[in-house]
Structure 1
Amino acid sequence: MKAKGTVISSIHNFVKENFNGQYDQFKNALSQESKAIYNNAILATDWYDIHSGVIEPTKLIGKLYYNGDVKKAAWESGYYSAQSNLTGIYKVFVMVSTPQFMMARASKILKSFYDPTLIVVFDKGDKFMELHITEFGYPNEVLEWRIQGWMQKALEICGCKNLDIKITKSMARKDAITAFKINWE
């Protein structure tokens, strides 16, 4: 499985902006494979190995800056990614979209970040949705938590309040799908 350069760049920028002066500590602690990515120019349109580019660096962020809490590191970096990437014309688009429309577009959005991946709307109503990832080339909780954080911020930009996003099934835990149950006011 691969991740687009925009995902890698968001992790790079997340560490630089949130852990002032500690980016070198982060880079120096990476494996050689991850260093090969983070020590070079990260091209937004290129595809990178998911483990070396996203999973390992996110686990390291959890270890270094969140007292070992990888879930928090993944969620926060996903939230940051939506906050920084859904800007300009994209932010206007998201702000005028309904939550249902925005999350229905998640399949195309996620496909542009992670390959292969397929996410579908399983159920929806006025104040809830259930999304299923039915294809994920490298099932991993780090990626699921990151997507959960991204969804949180994207839906906040849509105007959703009191969001509750739960991962009720997980391909990483050997379920057939990853299911996100989303409720809001």
Structure 2
Amino acid sequence: MLGLRQDTSTLANKGRGIYDDYIVVLNAWGQRGHAHLFPATTEPTAQYAQRASVTASGARVDARYKDVRFKEAHGADVDRDGIRDAGRLAAGTYFFTELPRIFLKDRAFWATTDQTVERDTDGDGRFTLADRDRIDRHGVGRTMYIHQGGPTTNPAVNTWSAGCQTVPQNHYPRFLGSLGARPKFFYVLVDCR
């Protein structure tokens, strides 16, 4: 499986994310020499960033997140400034198997070893070299899943990603079908610039 990531701000679509990446399943279940292309997201949405939360005084933790509807905080405070930093899976190769439980009402997949993530420590919605202490090899464990996201048929698209790789709900059955039963696969994530 190949993930093709286009760098996009976590603040895109009012912090709900957009499906501007792709996941390619090569040699799908029972089909040699085939490639199946699926829309996806490989970046977190700002709705899961602590910076979008509201303080006791009613102000946003970070004013740049004023248009984001906060859900809950995910991430790790890698730069020790008191704010959890949003993360995305670092480009690289990971081995995935099926998660042993249902996640968001369907099958999902997780890595067999701890993953490496990049953190947005400056809170600008991007993952760049300007982010101090941005590489996190320990704070995520195996929690950057591959799972279904919200449908693309909803006018208010929501990718449901706190850093996971998500495929839209209306494409997910075909995605699962391309993988077959009990799949084990290498997932290669590359940054397209």
TM-score grouping bracket, smaller chain normalisation: under 0.3
Hey, which of these two has a bigger chunk of helix by percent?
Answer: 1
Q: TM-score, normalised by structure 1?
A: 0.26
Bigger relative contact order, structure 1 or 2 (CA pairs below 8 A, ≥6 apart): 2
Q: TM-score, normalised by structure 2?
A: 0.25
Hey, which of these two has a bigger chunk of strand by percent?
Answer: 2
